[in-house]
Amino acid sequence: MDKLHSKQKETVQKISYEHTWLILNSEISVVFYDVTTICFELDNEDELRKTGFSKEGKHQNPQIILGLLVSKNGYPLAYKVFEGNKFEGHTMLPIIDTFKEKYNLHQLVIIADSGLLSSSNVEELQEKKYEFIFGTRIKSESKSIKEKVLALRLKNGETEIIEKDNLKLNITYSESRAKKGKLNRERGLKKTRKAN
């Protein structure tokens, strides 16, 4: 893996990009970005493997962060390895900017999850004229936005748009997601009651 990363990363990414370009009929305009952590059973850190927030719950182990950019249908386009203690919100734009410039792409729509939704990322995306969609949850929003969302009384599959500053929030209601959330809250309450 070290040899592949240090000597053949550019070749691998070029092959992947060209393959995706052909499969998607020469159109790459929507990209998905996410990160994961990979931990190591080591006692000591080095310049790359550092302790940080572990998605695997192994906070005591050194790790790396892997940022991955994929196209529609999940075809890999680019990746980058970051130090294990880097904030995941700071990993997205370096990969996307490099990818866009390298392949001379004019416009990209970026789709990512709420972990990458920092105000600085949003500002930078807007400054660079990117379009973007970030998944987020009601609980992350301000009280006034929560009240607007809850007042909608949406039914399963219905969608409404709410303006927030210079952004649009696309609000969708899902019965299955609501049931899952309720079940998770009930489990959490049971655990809390048992612990007390």
pLDDT in tens, 32-71: 999 988 888 877 888 888 887 777 777 788 888 899 999 9
Contact 65, 86 (CB under 8 A): yes
Give the containing element (helix H, strand E) for 175.
helix 175-195
pLDDT tens for 146-184 read 899 889 989 999 999 998 888 888 899 899 988 998 898
pLDDT tens for 128-143 read 988 898 888 788 788 9
Q: Give the Cβ contact number of residue 30 at 10 Å.
A: 16
Query: What is the reported pTM?
Result: 0.76
Which distant-in-sequence residues (6+ apart) come within 8 Å of 190 by Cβ?
Answer: none
- 6, pLDDT greater than 80: no
